[in-house]
Amino acid sequence: MGSFQPRLAGKTALVTGAASGIGLAVTELFLSEGAKVLGIDFSDKNIESARSALQSQNFDSSSYTFHNADVAEEEPVIAFVEKCVKELGGLDIAVLNAGIGIIKPISETTVEEYDRLMRINARGRQ
């Protein structure tokens, strides 16, 4: 019988919204399958919790990194794609998971709030 080869060995993934919920679950799955992960999240608190969770599961800390960024803006996203390529050897997988919601009536929603929601959720600048 052959030895077990993780399905994502040698692959690099960029995950947005990576420090909680579905994004963290994706990060954990990718790490368990041998990928390196660059995670982006907007919350320092979530990033610290995610690091602790990954450490408690004994994932190799050299296999993942988290960065705080506002993915509604194009420049940070481009910079992190370039960082994946330069520092992690490429970009094989992108999971654009970040998303927000507005919990109030549309009549009370500002144009700025709506535009931000669309930049993150619809344009994919996560």
Reported as a single tens digit per residue, the pLDDT across 8-60 is: 999 999 999 999 999 999 999 999 999 999 999 999 999 999 999 999 999 99
CATH of domain 12-98: 3.40.50.720
Query: Taking Cα atoms as reference points, which of 32, 85, 72, 87 lies closest to residue 24?
Result: 32
Which amino acid is located at 39 in the chain?
G
Q: Exposed, middle or buried by CB within 10 Å (0-12, 13-18, 19+), for 38?
A: buried
Q: Is the pLDDT of residue 125 over 70?
A: no
Single pTM value for the model: 0.88
Phi/psi of residue 39, each to 5°?
A: -105, 140
> Higher model confidence: residue 124 or residue 46?
46
Q: What pLDDT is attached to residue 2?
A: 58
